[in-house]
């Protein structure tokens, strides 16, 4: 290369770097923090953490409590210097969950007006400390979430993973500032939550899983549930249970056949009996126990894929008579009436209903229900929900279902005109925001959802969840203007190394061959466009 040529190339490179730095969010995205903060700048030098680093508190009891965790976190780094100050004060007037973080070689200040905000400042601080092996780079961060609902749905009906795995995931969710575990505990293969008034739900309904109907019963006791809900609350994560109905009810109707809405073969008992008062007494009793166990203001009632027991709602004389007596519009009208009755049960207990996007048609008041949009191929359902005045949580199959493969070479999992790469997860919801134009305030947030038909063990669970969970955190937390997809991907290897320390068996998008697919039982298969 000539001397001149060298300068031309060097100048172009400098211009390219300058252009990158001028991109909104480029500086935020350069700090080794996931999700990318809303605003950040980096300074000179670093604060060295260790036993000599003083931890000071300015604020109430929660800041004192967190200070103990900060001390425990920094002590192993060695000698250290300077100070870390935790400041929790209404007078800072920071929105809920927002925080600021200022670090110089002399000290760090973590500040917020809410316990969640202070906790998130600590999580960002921890990531910076890990990145510098105890030396926290000087910076100023001013951060707040884009969406209130930043979730992960785990299906433990198809396969059961147990308390320790759930707790590990809650730890990682907290680090990523995800704040909702949507827990799908009830579906066809198994009923996974103890209900005192109906012990057969777990004795009988808890038996089996998606690939082995004879598997011994597996479920969470009410003590387990309380333990997990408390563990999540300590990490500012709300746990929302799903009781899916009127379809996907097979585990419950196996336990109590009198609740069945009929049907034959694989569809026998797929729905609850939609017309008997005893069904609604049962539902109200179960919801009473859920309300006791879960302090979240929401109960998810499912409402998806009812299929009418694949015909029984058309053929049962009892159901047909009810439809005629109540002048309902056939099974469709009956399904809507069922959802309205359940929504009333939930509302009478002071909770808000969440349902899959099918429940829009039930006509529940938008003040009483939140819609989960999942059918990516029916984008108009998102628009309908918003136009009808509902708040909406987005979890479209593409790109937010984690049972879709994340690499074209994978053989177990779903495809539907493509698959779900982490880049697409992190770039959500920009591709659909044109649909929500004018309704942005009604978007409560988004979540990644993991159905586990093809996820029989924790190895595959990790493989499907990670690293995409970091992608959904970026999607849900980081404001659009601060997102920088290339820089997000550049931060990911550090996240993968942290997962290594937790023995998480993730997929490595940078080197797919280094992380081969875990084996799967025979019935685990590829599902295309379904």
* Catalytic machinery residues: 187, 248, 305
The residue among 55 and 252 lying less far from ligand ACM, judged by its C-beta, is 252
Q: Are strands 369-373 and 413-415 parallel, antiparallel or unpaired?
A: unpaired
The residue among 157 and 279 lying less far from ligand ACM, judged by its C-beta, is 157
Shortest Cβ 250–ligand ACM spacing (Å): 14
Nearest to 247 by CA among 301, 305, 318: 305
Q: Are strands 149-155 and 107-112 parallel, antiparallel or unpaired?
A: unpaired
Shortest Cβ 405–ligand ACM spacing (Å): 16
Shortest Cβ 392–ligand ACM spacing (Å): 14
The pair of structure tokens assigned to 229 is 């809900």
Shortest Cβ contact with ligand ACM: which residue? 304
Q: How many binding residues for ligand ACM (CB under 6 A)?
A: 4
Alpha-helical regions (H) of 47-108? 61-74
N-term to C-term CA, the chain: 55
Long-range contacts of 332-340 (CB under 8 A, 24+ apart): 332/361, 334/274, 334/275, 335/246, 335/274, 335/306, 335/308, 335/362, 336/361, 336/362, 336/363, 337/274, 337/362, 338/245, 338/246, 338/272, 338/274, 339/246, 339/301, 339/303, 339/364, 340/364
Nearest to 118 by CA among 140, 135, 101, 136: 101
Under 8 Å between Cβ of 89 and 95: no
| Contacting ligand ACM within 155-194 (CB under 6 A) | none
- In whole angstroms, give the CA distance from residue 263 to residue 308: 8
- In whole angstroms, give the CA distance from residue 319 to residue 331: 9
- In whole angstroms, give the CA distance from residue 21 to residue 308: 56
Shortest Cβ 266–ligand ACM spacing (Å): 16
Nearest to 86 by CA among 45, 50, 125: 125
Contacting residues for 486 by C-beta, under 8 A, at least 6 apart: none
The greatest distance separating any two alpha carbons of the chain, rounded to the nearest whole angstrom, comes to 91
Q: Is 311 left (phi over 0), alpha (psi -120 to 50) or beta?
A: left
Nearest to 267 by CA among 285, 284, 254, 283: 254
Nearest to 31 by CA among 144, 149, 126: 126
Under 8 Å between Cβ of 175 and 123: yes
The residue among 258 and 305 lying less far from ligand ACM, judged by its C-beta, is 305
Residue with tokens 């009892």: 318
Enumerate the β-bridge partners of residue 373: 394
The pair of structure tokens assigned to 423 is 């880049």
C-alpha distance from residue 295 to each of 89, 117, 239, 288, 352 (Å): 25, 20, 8, 12, 12
Residue 304 sits in the site that holds ligand ACM (CB under 6 A): yes
Shortest Cβ 109–ligand ACM spacing (Å): 44
Shortest Cβ 169–ligand ACM spacing (Å): 20
The residue among 338 and 374 lying less far from ligand ACM, judged by its C-beta, is 374
The pair of structure tokens assigned to 477 is 């937390």
| Contacting ligand ACM within 195-254 (CB under 6 A) | none
Shortest Cβ 358–ligand ACM spacing (Å): 8
- In whole angstroms, give the CA distance from residue 398 to residue 379: 11
Residue with tokens 């009127």: 246
- Mask of contacts with ligand ACM, 349-388, x by CB under 6 A? -------x-----------------x--------------
The residue among 64 and 305 lying less far from ligand ACM, judged by its C-beta, is 305
Shortest Cβ 451–ligand ACM spacing (Å): 6
- In whole angstroms, give the CA distance from residue 59 to residue 122: 15
Shortest Cβ 400–ligand ACM spacing (Å): 11
| Contacting ligand ACM within 407-466 (CB under 6 A) | none
Shortest Cβ 70–ligand ACM spacing (Å): 40
- In the complex, which residues of this chain contact ligand ACM (CB under 6 A)? 304-305, 356, 374
């Amino acid at each position: 290369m000539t001397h001149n040529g060298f300068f031309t190339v060097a100048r172009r490179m400098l211009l390219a770097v300058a252009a990158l730095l001028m991109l909104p969010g480029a500086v935020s995205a350069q700090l080794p923090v996931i999700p990318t903060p809303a605003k950040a700048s980096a300074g000179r030098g670093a604060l060295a953490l260790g036993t000599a680093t003083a931890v000071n508190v300015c604020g109430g009891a929660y800041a004192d409590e967190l200070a103990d965790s900060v001390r425990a976190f920094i002590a192993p780094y060695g000698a250290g210097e300077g100070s870390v100050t935790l400041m929790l004060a209404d007078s800072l007037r920071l929105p809920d969950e927002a925080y600021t973080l200022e670090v110089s070689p002399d000290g760090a200040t973590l500040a917020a007006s809410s316990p969640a905000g202070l906790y998130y400042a600590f999580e960002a601080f921890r990531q910076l400390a890990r990145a510098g092996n105890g030396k926290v780079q000087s910076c100023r961060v001013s951060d707040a979430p884009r969406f209130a609902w930043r979730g992960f749905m785990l299906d433990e009906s198809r396969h059961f993973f147990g308390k320790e795995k759930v707790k590990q995931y809650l730890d990682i969710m907290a680090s990523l500032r995800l704040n909702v575990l949507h827990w799908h505990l009830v579906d066809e293969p198994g009923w996974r939550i103890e209900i005192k008034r109906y012990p057969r739900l777990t004795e009988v309904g808890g038996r089996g899983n998606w690939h082995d109907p004879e598997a011994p019963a597996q479920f969470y006791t009410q003590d387990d549930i309380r333990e997990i809900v408390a563990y999540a609350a300590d990490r500012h994560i709300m746990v929302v249970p799903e009781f899916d109905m009127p379809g996907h009810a097979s585990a419950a109707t196996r336990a109590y056949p009198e609740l069945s809405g009929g049907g034959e073969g694989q569809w026998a008992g797929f729905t609850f009996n939609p017309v008997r008062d005893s069904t609604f007494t049962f539902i109200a009793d179960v919801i009473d126990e859920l309300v006791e166990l879960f302090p979240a203001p929401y109960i998810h009632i499912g409402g998806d894929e009812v299929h009418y027991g694949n015909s029984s709602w058309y053929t049962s004389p009892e159901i047909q008579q009810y439809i005629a007596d109540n002048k309902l519009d056939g099974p469709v009208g009956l399904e809507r009436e069922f959802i309205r009755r359940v929504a009333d049960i939930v509302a009478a207990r002071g909770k808000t209903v969440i349902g899959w996007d099918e429940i829009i048609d039930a006509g529940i008041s938008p003040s009483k229900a939140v819609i989960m949009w999942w059918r990516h191929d029916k984008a108009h359902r998102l628009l309908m929900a918003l136009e009808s005045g509902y708040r909406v949580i987005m979890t479209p199959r593409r790109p937010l279902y984690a049972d879709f493969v994340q690499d074209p070479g994978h053989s177990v999992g779903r495809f539907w005109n493509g698959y779900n790469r982490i880049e697409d997860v992190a770039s959500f919801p920009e591709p659909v925001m044109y649909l929500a134009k004018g309704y942005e305030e009604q978007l409560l947030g988004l979540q990644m959802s993991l159905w586990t038909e093809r996820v029989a063990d924790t190895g595959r669970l990790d493989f499907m969840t990670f690293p995409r969970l970091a992608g959904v955190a970026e999607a849900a937390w980081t404001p659009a203007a601060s997102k920088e997809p290339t820089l997000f991907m550049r931060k990911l290897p550090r996240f993968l190394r942290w997962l290594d320390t937790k023995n998480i068996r993730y997929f490595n998008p940078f080197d797919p061959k280094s992380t081969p697919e875990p084996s799967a039982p025979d019935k685990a298969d590829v599902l295309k466009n379904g």
